[in-house]
Every structure is written in structure tokens, then in C-alpha cells.
Structure 1
Amino acid sequence: MHMLLPCNCIIITNYFVVSLAVADMLVALCAMTFNASVEISGKWMFGTVMCDMWNSFDVYFSTASIMHLCCISVDRYYAIVQPLDYPLIMTHRRVFFMLLMVWLSPALLSFLPICSGWYTTTENWRYLKSNPHVCEFKVNKAYAIVSSSMSFWIPGIVMLSMYYRIYLEADRQERLVYRSKVAALLLDKHLQISQIPKPRPSIQVEQSTISTMRRERKAARTLGIIMSAFLLCWLPFFLWYITSTLCDTCTTPRIVVGILFWIGYFNSALNPIIYAYFNRDFRAAFKKTLKSCTLVKGTLSSITESVGKF
């Protein structure tokens, strides 16, 4: 897929992928670690202030990760469906603005309402402040609707729409390539039967055309994997999140809640694997990094041996 796109397109895409990797790394450092401590110890050990900070970090970086996926879907849409207009639409200034919004807007859903207590009920807010060993993320109905819409439902709809249009475009291009191949083969057969010399070798289907069709298939398959991973990881959590908040009589076992949280976290672990594996530039850079690390390690070992002998 990358060979069909200009160099500027690849660079723009890598900006989003690198920023996504940073967001996913911060999910692991600032959200997973605290959640793991609660699951292991069975209680909160860091006080009320850190409870608010942990909940804020959890919402902030998870939302930022999902918004990155949404931006990547928009970027891929213009790169594949409108490749000629892509350099004019996805400029460096516009990409910088998109990344800025991706990193700033989640703060309106996390730090501001959580640290001020707007996200939960008055009773639960007082209970948490008087019990520093408890850290529960119990939200009110208004916050549940707004936060789930901004963090998942709206980005999810955008991603589904973008990737569906990309799939249709890839399917359309594949059919065009197939028809061109069939037409060229029929023309070649007609010239052979009529014993008419071929005017130019270009009548035959070029190998690059076949490679184009294969890349389009791979692109559509990759997009399916990305969307499947996103929905499988986050859809169960947000379905529980919105239904448990709106249903006053519904109760969920603690172990189920923990599993839903970790399934959502798992998407942050899958993102670097999916995007890096299917990105030829990232694979090449990763191999170079490993070779450099091996070379440095070998050099240090040689120096150490030389110093020891000395």
C-alpha cells in the first residue's frame, strides 16, 4: 500500500503512529500499573488525591489512544480514496492541529470533571474523600453519556465510516484492475489468432498492476484487523459502562469489571503490534535499531574484555 502513496503521505502517517505509540505507552505506565496494584492487593494504597489522578490518567490516555485511531482512519481515507488531494488536505500544519486537539481535548473529559468531582454523585464523592483506602470510578448519568460518546461512540462511528469507504474504494480498484487484466488478455489472444503483430509490449498487463491489486487486498485486510481489534477490546467495556450507569438496579461482579477494564487496556498493547507490523518503514527501522543495539553491546563487551585483560 505504501508504494502507491507519495513520500509525504508516509511521513504524515508516521506522525500519527508515533504519537499513538506514546499514548499507548502512557496507558501502560499511568493506568495499568495502578489498576494492577488494586487487583493484586484488593485495596487502594495511594490516598484520595492519587485516586483522582489515576482515574484522570485512565480516562485521559485511553481517550487519547482512541482519538489517535480515529485520526489515522481519516488520514487513511484521504490517502487511499483521494490520493491526488491528499497533499493539499493533510498538510503538516493540519496534522499538527489534529495532534494538538487529540492531546488537549481528553483533558476536558478527565482532569477537569474528575478532580472537581463533577463526574460522580455527591454521596459517592463524600464517601471517597472520607475513605482514602477506596478508589471507585462511579460516575453519574450525565458524565457517562458525554464521556462515552466523546471517548468511544463518536470516534467509533467515524472509524467505521472511514474504513467502510476505504474498503469500498479498494474493492472498486480491485475490480477495475481485474477488468483491465481480462481485457488485455483478450486483446492479446485476439492478436495471436488474427496473426497481427503486437504494436507495443505495453498491451500486456504490467506486473505493477498485479502488485497494485495485491496491495489493495492487503490494505483492506489490514483495515479489517484494525477495526476488529478496536471493537473487540473496547465495545464490551463501553456497553457495560453506559448500561450499568443508566440502570440503577444493575450490579456487576468486581471480577467482571476488572476483566472489562483489562480487555480495553489490551487494545493499547495491540496497536503498536498491528501498526508496526503492517508498516514497512517501521519494520525496517526496528530491524536497524536491533542491529545497532547488538553492535553497541558487542563493542561494550570487547571493551570490557580488553580492560579486564589490562
Structure 2
Amino acid sequence: MASFSATLTATSTNLPSVLQNGTSNDTNVATVGNPHPHWTELLLLIVKGFIFGTIIVSAVLGNALVIISVHRHRKLRVITNYYVVSLAMADMLVALCAMTFNASVELTGGKWLFGYFMCDVWNSLDVYFSTASILHLCCISVDRYYAIVRPLEYPITMTHRTVSFMLANVWTLPALISFTPIFLGWYTTEDHIDFRKTNPNVCKFVVNQYYALISSSISFWIPGIVMVTMYCRIYKEAIRQRKALSRTSSNIILNSIHQHRTSYRDRYGDHFLHPSDGELTTVGQINGRRSTSSGSAVSYGTTTTEFNTAMNSRDNSKAATELNMNVSTFRVDHFKVMDWSLSLFNPNPYIDCNIDDFVLDNNNRECLPPEPQLGNIEYKLKIVNPTKQRFEHLVTQLKWRLHEGNGVAIYQIGVEDCGVLAGLSHRDMTASLKTLQLMALRLGAATAILHERVLENGRTSIRQQSKSWRAEHKAARTLGIIMGAFMLCWLPFFLWYVITTLCGDDLCPTPDWLIGMLFWVGYFNSALNPLIYAYFNRDFREAFKDTLLCAMPCCFTCWKNPARFL
């Protein structure tokens, strides 16, 4: 995050012209004697210029590399990286619009060279991009919270529309504490406004107590508390999942698609499936409530579980039935089993019908389940007489069950009616998904595969689960390090910002060199994020390397085969 522009008073350390650090009644510039030989002063100026230039160039090029890499590499185009790209844009603009002006003030002995109006522009841009940066990190923490702690809600909550709405607010909200109060003069005192009019070569950002408390709360304290809370919950969930994963190796048995009994454990509880009689006993925990039940079941990600809720049909008819499930891909030998999701509108009376009726008959909209009555009711829409090309060795079914007032629909591919894993080859799976899309089109439904996970027999299954768990939590760890780096860089500045404003410079004087250090340590955070991506995230590291190689004139690989990035 960028600083709140200048310092509360523009400063320069160890240079002939030093701006006095005080209130708005201070004089403009005080000339002091030159305590150092000329070559020492020149060397200090060169060192400071090198440090400032390195931070600025690193921030611009590093964040530009993030944006270009995500644009070029399809593997990086995931929901979370939308926030990352937007954050990189904010950090790059911090370097261009805030760091450059601050460096000019530092290197010219505290003089402002760009006039009265541009001083307000600089201060506004600095506050704006500072706030935008931390709000991006706040959004990323919320995204990771849903992905890890509440994965069943993540695909429904974090849609493209939701992400677009959040990013729009991230870029709009900072204007309320930057351009508006600064250009209207609400941020400071009347004395400071008069001082600025008579001293246009000084750009001091003196704020009143109300603005300091409100702006720092919106820009740092409230989002910071949200981030810390989210990552504390993520950490607790990661510990719990690790313990659950360590117990899994003694509970997963997937020997063949014709096994008599399958048992497995995952993060939602213990599940024992008996394909021979089609019964299920579930001890699960859904949304923090533990329940025990038996009977028919709905496939729930990599588990099989059951909801116990009652819902009046009138309540259900008020809104569309919408999926609230994770979707998984199991691998049994060389077969796949996948859950497919639909959002269905206005259920009609149920009629058994052939899959071809869905695909070929535009007017056949009666192949839907009836409206549910009170109690736990399950509806099955069974696809009868599947063609060999589409559903060889397969019985598919569509199941409905209510959960907390929301309809839940799962289309399960590769599982027989009794629960035995039938499996599909890659070719048959592709054909089945295309058929389901056509069926959904005829029903006026929306479809989506929300999540995929591959499990293999025996110990391989454990390794795959462990690999998936490590990948998800490695991403969370990377984002946690980014958040931690941000807090370390900017927490000292905001503590100083609030304390100095509340107690005043007379009671809380701060050396000029310390003020400058607080700002540039904070600025360094904008250059640090791309380095964190490159070091802790292999996908970003490989994308960075490929992008940099393609930027070299001697490298023609990316131009010979550009389609691999699309």
C-alpha cells in the first residue's frame, strides 16, 4: 500500500535544505549549515537515489510481470488471481503515481516542484491506491476463507459476478477518503490551507484528528482485522484437515468397481456405504451441526451424506432451485466418476423419460420432479435406455434433496443406482457431459462443474488427497505471507500516523529520518508481492520464467507456438 502521500510534513534527511517538522504555523524552509564535506553529501544523495529507483523500478516491472503472466498463461486464470492481477495494478500505480513524487521531494531537500494543484493530486492518488491495495488483500483473504473453510459454498459464492462486484467496490470506495475530502479541504485545518497558499513549494499533508481516525480505519484497521480473522480461521481449518488426512490412510478402501463394501473418511465425517443393499449410514457435520442419519443419499463431493431438513413447498416455489454442492471426479482403475450440477427452475410433475426426450423434444418440459412436500423427500429422475455411445456400463440418476430452505440438485455420472461405482472412460465421460448440457438446455437449466478431484485405488488415493490438500494450502500460505508482509510494512506507519495526529508533534516529535524510513519501508511492499509469488508459487514462478524468456529478442519459442498460452 502506498503511503498517505508526503509525510505529515514533507521531509528530507541530511541535506542542506531541511523542511521543519511541525504544525501548520511552522516556517517553510530553514537553511542549516553543511555539516558534511561535499563528496559525503553527494554520496548520500546517490545512495538514496539508487534505493528509491530500485524500489520504483522493481515495483513497476514486477507487478507488470504478474499481469502479463496471468494474461498469457491459461493455468493462472482462476478466480483468486483476478484479485491478484487487480492488486498488481494498484501496486504498479503506487510506484508510478506516489513513489516518484515522494522521491523527488526527498532528493530535492524537501522542495515541492509541481505546484499547489498537483500537491492535492499527489496526496489523493497516494491515499487512493493505498486503500485500494489493502482492500484487495482483504478480498483475497475472504476468497481463501471460502475456498478452504467453506468449500461447499465457494463455487456458489465466488462467482464471476461476485468477484466483479467486489473489485468494483475495491476501486470505488477509496475515492471517498481520498479525492473527495482532499480537494474539498475536509482533511486538514484552516491554518494549513492558508499556509499552503503562501508556500506553494511545500507539499505537507497535515490532517485533522477526525480524518486521521476515519481514513486509517477504512484504509488499514478494519480490513486488517478482517484479514487476521480470516487467516486465523484458515489456519485452524488447515490444522484440522491435516489431522483428518493423517487418519484417512487407514480408512480408504477402493479396490474395484465391483467391491462388496466401500468405506472412506473425509473432512465431513465418517461414511459407510453398503452397495449390496443400497443403504447408507452417515455421521457428518454440515455447517457446524453434527447429525446421524441413514437411508438414501446424495453424493457430496468425495463423500456421500444426507441432509435432514423439512421445507414447505410454498417456500421452495418462491425461488429457483440452485446447486450447493462440490463436484468431484473419482478414478477407479482407468474409469471416472463425476458429479454434475444443475440449477433448475419451476419444477413440474415428475415423469420417467428417456434421455433422448430431453435432447430431441423441445416441448417436453414435464421430465422434472414434483414440488416437495413437508419432510425429507428425495426425487430421482432416472435416465432409462441409455445409448451405447453415451452411457455404456452406466446408470445415471438425478436426485433432489432440500437443505435449509434451498433446493440441492446433483447429477451423478458413473454411479449405479445402488451406489456402486460404475465408472466411465474419458471418451464416454466427455460424451455424457455434452449430453447433459443439451438436456439442461432443454430444461432451461444452468450447469457447471464446480470442482474436480482425482482419487485412485488404495494408497494412491491417499497420495492424491494429500497432494490436493498441499496445493490448496500452499496457495493459502502464499497469500498469508503476502498479507503478513503487508502488515509488517505498514503497521508501523499507521501506528505513527494515528499517534502523531492525536498527540501532536510537540508531544510526539519524530525524527525526519525515521519518517522517511517508515514511508519507504511501506512503499517497498508494492515491490515485494511479485517476489513472494515467484518464490512460493511454482505456477507463477514458471510463468514468470517463460514470460521473461519470451521478452528476449533471441527467444522465438513463444512466437512459434503462441497457442499454448490460450
Smaller-chain TM-score bracket: 0.7 to 0.9
Q: 1:227 aligns with which of 473, 483, 487?
A: 483
For 1:276 and 1:298, the matched residues in 2 are separated by 21
1:151 aligns with 2:407: no
1:258 aligns with 2:516: yes
1:112 aligns with 2:180: yes
Aligned runs of 1:152-301 on 2, under 5 Å?
Answer: 152-181=220-249, 202-204=457-459, 206-215=462-471, 218-219=474-475, 221-248=477-504, 249-294=507-552, 296-297=553-554
Query: Offset at 1:293?
Result: 2.0
Query: Offset at 1:14?
Result: 1.3
Letter in 2 for 1:15: Y
- Identify the residue that residue 81 of structure 2 maps to in structure 1: 14
Cα deviation, 1:222-246, whole Å, max 9, x if unaligned, reads 3542232121101000000000000
After superposing on structure 2, the runs of 4+ consecutive aligned residues of structure 1 that deviate more than 6 Å are: none
SS in 2 for 1:247: helix
Range moving further from structure 2, 283-292 or 211-220: 211-220
Letter in 1 for 2:181: P
Q: Tell whether the 8 Å contact from 1:59 to 1:109 is kept in structure 2 after alignment.
A: yes
Structure with greater proportional strand content: 2
Cα deviation, 1:110-139, whole Å, max 9, x if unaligned, reads 111111111011101110121001111110
5+ residue gaps, structure 1? 1-6, 186-199, 300-310
Q: Tell whether the 8 Å contact from 2:475 to 2:537 is kept in structure 1 after alignment.
A: no
1:64 aligns with 2:132: yes
For 1:116 and 1:82, the matched residues in 2 are separated by 44
Structure with greater proportional helix content: 1
Query: Offset at 1:70?
Result: 0.5
5+ residue gaps, structure 2? 1-73, 254-332, 334-455, 557-566
Q: Tell whether the 8 Å contact from 2:112 to 2:200 is kept in structure 1 after alignment.
A: yes
Cα deviation, 1:131-187, whole Å, max 9, x if unaligned, reads 0011111100000000000000001000001111111111100000112236679xx
Q: Tell whether the 8 Å contact from 1:120 to 1:139 is kept in structure 2 after alignment.
A: yes
Cα deviation, 1:168-220, whole Å, max 9, x if unaligned, reads 111100000112236679xxxxxxxxxxxxxx994546321332454466356
Cα deviation, 1:36-85, whole Å, max 9, x if unaligned, reads 01111011111111111111111111111111100111111111112222
| CA shift in 2, pair 1:240/1:38, >3 Å | same
Say what the alpha-carbon RMSD is for the aligned residues: 2.4
Percent of residue pairs identical: 63
Letter in 2 for 1:129: K
For 1:214 and 1:297, the matched residues in 2 are separated by 37
For 1:10 and 1:164, the matched residues in 2 are separated by 27
For 1:217 and 1:279, the matched residues in 2 are separated by 11
Cα deviation, 1:243-291, whole Å, max 9, x if unaligned, reads 0000023221222111111111111111222235444443333233223
Query: Offset at 1:11?
Result: 1.4
Task: Calculate the TM-score normalised by the size of structure 2.
Answer: 0.46
Q: Tell whether the 8 Å contact from 1:170 to 1:216 is kept in structure 2 after alignment.
A: no
Letter in 2 for 1:151: S
Range moving further from structure 2, 283-292 or 233-242: 283-292
1:24 aligns with 2:91: yes
Letter in 2 for 1:132: P
| Count of matched residue pairs | 278
For 2:497 and 2:169, the matched residues in 1 are separated by 25
Task: Calculate the TM-score normalised by the size of structure 1.
Answer: 0.82
Query: Offset at 1:292?
Result: 2.0
| CA shift in 2, pair 1:223/1:26, >3 Å | closer
| CA shift in 2, pair 1:40/1:9, >3 Å | closer
Range moving further from structure 2, 83-92 or 282-291: 282-291
Range moving further from structure 2, 209-218 or 97-106: 209-218
Bigger relative contact order (CA 8 A; separation at least 6) = 1
For 1:47 and 1:243, the matched residues in 2 are separated by 29
Q: Tell whether the 8 Å contact from 2:144 to 2:476 is kept in structure 1 after alignment.
A: no
For 1:87 and 1:221, the matched residues in 2 are separated by 21
Q: Tell whether the 8 Å contact from 2:123 to 2:205 is kept in structure 1 after alignment.
A: yes
Letter in 2 for 1:145: L
For 1:12 and 1:276, the matched residues in 2 are separated by 19
1:93 aligns with 2:161: yes
